[in-house]
Amino acid sequence: MTEQPPEPSHPTPAPAPDASGTLRDLLLARLDAASGLTPGAKELLRDLLPSEQVRSGGTPNATVQLRSIAAAGWRGIGPRTTLELPPGPGLVVVAGPNGSGKSSFAEAAETAITGLNSRWDGKRARDWQGGWRNLHTPDGVTPEVSVELSVGERCEPVTVRRTWHGTKVDEARTRVVGHDGAERKLGEVIDSGALDLARPFLPYSELGSMINGTLGGLHDAFFKLLGLELLAEFDDRVKNVDTECGQAIKQREALTAKLLTELSALDDPRAREAAQALSGTKLDLARVRSLLENRSPAADGELVRLRQYAGLAGPDLRETVGALARLRDAATTAEDAQSGSAEDARRLARLLEAALEHRRRSQSAHCPVCGSEDRLDRGWSEQARAEVERLQMQAADAEAARQGVSVAVRAVHDLVQPVPVWLRGETSALASLWQDWALCRDVMHPRELVERAERAAASLDEACRQVRDEAARRLAEYDDAWQPTAVRLAEWLAAAEAAEAASDRRRHARKARTWLRPIIDELRDERLRPFAQRSQEVWQKLCEHSSVTLGSVTLAGTPGRGRVVLDVSVDDRSAPAYSVMSQGELHSLALSLFLPRATHAASPFGFLVIDDPVQSMDPEKVEGLARVLDACARDRQVIVFTHDTRLQQAIEHLGIEATVLRVTRRPDSVVGVESVNDPVKQALAEARDVSLDPGIPQDVADHVLPAMCRRAVEAACLETVRRRLRDEQGLGLAEIEERLGLLDHRTKAQVSLALLGDERQQAREAVERICPGSWTLIETFNSGAHRPLPTVDDRRELVRRTAALATAIRRGPGARLAGGAR
């Protein structure tokens, strides 16, 4: 096809979010600079600001393109058929009538790579998914779809094959095999995160979704693509704080109303005081708290005294009995040790020690006291030393017994409790018994202390038990009506305290959200702006002569609850998009929104697969579509499936370089794929094949070969005429085709129109000027006669001269072909 003057390249897609300036950093910077926010609101926003989430993915930045798409037993394809695709950037048009199986290839590629088929989304499984298996699948053929990919800078071939082993559409297994035959994981080849963000497939079902206005999925995809999930989560967190605080306040209000009704029906001073605390413009939480802690005036003397009696703790009888037993034992031991006092024993021991010392020093056996001779002999000395030891031991035992009694007395005294302050001054039996018990602290004699303490402790313990039981019984009777209300009042107090804290937090949250919403909208629109501008540019190309204008494209809401907002106007007046757009314009809108996302600079997919975008488009939009696809195909592999021949005509009309593949379907779902070449080159190739075939009979060659050459020249003329009508007269595709339908179909007339712009003028001079010697060739075509072509060389020469003329015509009347066509 002729070369088209280059279109202005489409703007560079929006860059991926800058890692050096994350959304979180931007929000923190805005927050630090905010002057209208209270410290509480700022603190709340800092606490709620989420952390940056790292996106998961497979093999980032590894460019993926398609080498081929194959299918067997799938949808409209029976026996295995492969759609071979040219490598690298470029436009590929896969054409074929409805039912030929072309869309089955598009769905096969999507299903192999994603495991899903968009055609079935939202459809009933029985009606749609039941038809995934081809009805004419040969016996022994396993249904499968596969794509051969070209991955990375080295264009590594990788095959992704999805094979079915059951009758259900989800009974399938995906296998990924590298060029070396080694099995790989799909996530190592296809970045699953990028597949969500920049999905390279635009099925017809998604085009149709524009008609229904279902743009929630597109909204969510843009949110992820722009890295805006943090904004949505941040906004949700602040909103949830407001909601939770509001719920806490509502719960307090509901409990207050219910409790006031209950309190009004209760004849109790505490109930009346509680009702006062719950009424009025300001709730008195401190008063309620005091009431529940029995520190309120409503808790009168009787209730206080009853609670004191109910909590009364007398002597610990078990410890007291133990201490008295120890005192009794100590007293007995002391009494046994009193047969000789410790002091007497020590004094006698000292006297004997002095006598022994005198004997040792004087070396005399005479008694210094009575004067008796030889009384202090050796025998006496030994008996005296033994007596000293016995006396010292007797003195130690007596002292220990005395100390034991003292410790035991003190232990009993420690157990004796003084009369409680609130019980002093009473004349009750309990007070008297407690006084008897308290006086035991003054008793020092162990035997007396044992007797008095034993008797007093037992009496006081029994009295305390009786008093406690009586007080508990009376309190239970007294509190039967109040206690359930007190429980609910305690619940109310907890809810009121929570609501009080929530009220402050809610105020901060509302101020924070008022500040945050415009910031979120600004950051969101700022990141979406390059995509929106690209959408507008695509729309302008697709709908250049439409009265409908696409303005700004913005996002509203949050994922799961969001929508894409389209600023649409008709003749400069705003209008709702779906009510003023035709179906063709809605399809154009779908492309305008799809392409910026799919061609995002960060996308690892070097291909686009678009199914049936031409439907419902008028000729001018088809031309715009061809231009848009051509612009995208300059740095991407763009594969378009269509049954509408107008796209191919527009591509030829505009001189766009494209590979055209035609899909045909024969009985039993046998699908074939053939390449559709340049009509001039194709006619010349067919003629050349005939010229080089010595087996063709002479009479056949004499008639068939000139006709083939004539078709090549006429195809060159039609191409040149189309270009002149487009470039010089500014006609559109529809007008051009209409004019061509009125042409004189003679070869000379077509040559005159191509070279001179008028089919009625004589074009001999123009032909001879661009390709000398070619007018005779045209007359031969026109007369339908030709000299015999007895040799292969003659046939080859005819084809050569025809090719030279066709090339000259395609170049135009201003060109001259060196050497001519003699």
d(CA 30, CA 18): 17
- Per-residue pLDDT, 5: 37
Please give the pLDDT value at position 18: 42
Q: Are strands 90-95 and 659-666 parallel, antiparallel or unpaired?
A: parallel
Q: Is the pLDDT of residue 711 over 70?
A: yes
Report residue 241 as tokens: 């704080």
H-helix or E-strand spanning residue 700: helix 698-727
- SS3 at position 593: helix
Going by C-alpha positions, the residue among 70, 74, 69 that lies closest to residue 138 is 74
Q: How far is CA 547 from the centre of its chain?
A: 40
Q: What is the pLDDT of residues 160-193, one digit of tens each?
A: 999 998 888 888 899 999 988 899 998 888 888 7
- Which pLDDT band holds residue 783 (cuts at 50, 70, 90)? low
For the segment 370-403, what is each residue's pLDDT rounded down to a tens digit? 656 666 667 777 777 777 677 667 666 677 777 8
- Residue 815: what pLDDT? 47
pLDDT score recorded for residue 340: 52
pLDDT at position 822 is 34
Note whether 546 and 538 are within 8 A (CB): no
Residue 745: other Cβ atoms inside 10 A: 7
pLDDT of residue 817: 41
Q: How high is the pLDDT of residue 577?
A: 65
Assess contact for 101 and 80: CB atoms under 8 A: no
Q: How far apart are alpha carbons 769 and 808 in whole angstroms? A: 10
Nearest to 604 by CA among 228, 189, 302, 167: 189
Tokens of 562: 């969001």
Contact present, 532 and 550 (Cβ < 8 Å): no
716 or 18, which is more confident?
716
Tell me the pLDDT tens digit for each residue of 246-291: 999 999 999 999 999 999 988 777 888 889 999 988 899 988 888 8
pLDDT at residue 565 in the model: 78
Question: Which residue type occupies 237?
Answer: R
| pLDDT over 70 (residue 787) | no
**pLDDT score for 215:** 66
Q: According to the model, what pLDDT value does residue 212 have?
A: 58
Average pLDDT over every residue of 599-608 = 87
Rounded Cα distance, 482 and 292, in Å? 11
If you search the block for the tokens 């395609």, which residue do you land on? Answer: 810
**Closest of 312, 311, 294 to residue 303, by C-alpha:** 294
Q: What is the pLDDT of residue 814?
A: 53
* pLDDT (tens digit per residue) in 446-492: 888 888 888 988 898 899 999 899 888 877 877 788 888 888 999 99
The answer to pTM > 0.75 is no
- Using 50, 70 and 90 to split pLDDT, how confident is the model at 578? low
Q: Say whether pLDDT at 14 is over 70.
A: no
> Helix or strand or coil: residue 812?
coil
